[in-house]
Structure 1
């Protein structure tokens, strides 16, 4: 069941990050950094709010192997960061992550697509969903406006807005959240050319 609490504030996720600085002159290699969705409950020292979201934030991370390293506030404050770098490097790496993923479309008995699933054995899905052209991947199949939920770092579900029954999939979403070592959120976001808005949160009935 989806407990809908619509927010009228539209925001492109990446614009939240662009208002902040990320990379110092002695920063690690560019391809080691990501901007990801992260659960607010983890209380990372450096995060940015998503308008209308109560459980999900955006965080900069350094990817070491398959492990994320979150910068401390002290390190962050002592560094000299450039907003242009996070725009360029974050977008490049999110696009690179997205390019490694192939949507798995689930259909009903009439072969009508119900939702798309993105999965990886690496914790990059929570980065890939922030790629500038993420929505373009689904325009021909799900439409120009979609619903997105990212229950863990390895999984995302994308639903069509029109004629969608995405609320019915709460058992699947909650299981992906509860069973993961690295859960993110069961909040649902609507993505369109106007940006991103929070539309609700999955809950058990």
Structure 2
């Protein structure tokens, strides 16, 4: 059974509803609900997979090593800080042992992410890693094949790329992320989403 979110009109109210959620077993093991953080009217929303240990303890997404690298990319490549963007995860509660999200957990929790996106109305949603990209695009995909390729999907640009955690272990991924973030900056610099066709600088991936 899902939670009725249709009456909710702001992120504060949505967060309070998420904090009382017990739709799946993660509600019994979490320390904190990790709802999201940042500018509620941002053009750019980052979506990760799920909270880790540090996020669960603090109640804020991307506060560990991967988060620090994300901050570095924001500043050095995009000239932005966390105050300029919004960050959330597919799951709002940490899976035990940082295991992969289970289908039932995603099913219950994605309603909160969908409502966040509905309320924020971002121009671009940057999905970080395989799990987040699959949920956002509702497609089976491999991030190594689709990263850096924006897609017009449900009135937004969806921009899949590697999770910053992957760059902590592989130097090549770090180089790829830097290039992807440069492309992300090009999309953000566009005036609007009115033209949903392909351009010389932005090519949509073939999802089918």
TM-score relative to the length of structure 2: 0.27
Name which structure has the greater RCO, CA cutoff 8 Å, separation 6+: 1
Normalized per residue, which structure has more helix?
Answer: 2
TM-score relative to the length of structure 1: 0.27
